[in-house]
Structure 1
Amino acid sequence: NKQEELKKRLEEPVEAVNLSPEEQLAEKLRLKKLQEDADLELAKEAFGEGCSTGIDAMNPSSREDFTEFSKVLKEKITQFEKSVYYPTFLETLMRDICISCE
């Protein structure tokens, strides 16, 4: 994932002493391009553009399909578990899902 790569790259100490000014500039431009690409990828995901795979493309009809769908949903939802709003989100989600089962 580009976000993870960028995060790792930004956390690494830069050996500026060994880089020429041109190399330092090239590295800064490369990191800026990585950040822009990662931002664009996130925006596309947020607005559902280019979603031909993943959750949006899934149409479960068998037990195995629903098992896989469950795994994908869990992975997506648990990405946000560190948020202060996560418990309230889960409570609301479960309540709304259970209401539709009645």
Structure 2
Amino acid sequence: MNNVAVRGGFKLTKGNARKLTVATFEKWLSVAEKHHLPTTRAINTFCAVVNDMSPLLAQLQVHDAQIMTREQAVKCELGDLYLASKETRKRMRELEGQL
């Protein structure tokens, strides 16, 4: 994580610390350490390093949201367009009936 942060030119921790230490990482993971939370940037960096987006799920679930892949987003957009075209066809039939 420290290497990613150095390459990206950002810090993972708050305050004066120059890099993430094992002690800080353990505090982030500890249920008892409620005042030591990782930053959003640190969570995103962790997800990138371990190549797993599931840690973001906890944040998203609070907002009743989920992670969507690019393929799922395309399918969702396709579904929206299909439903919109279906509604347009229905409206066109209604208007044709008025002629």
Same fold (TM over 0.5): no
Return the structure number with greater helix share: 1
TM-score, length basis structure 2: 0.32
Q: What's the TM-score once normalised by structure 1's chain length?
A: 0.31
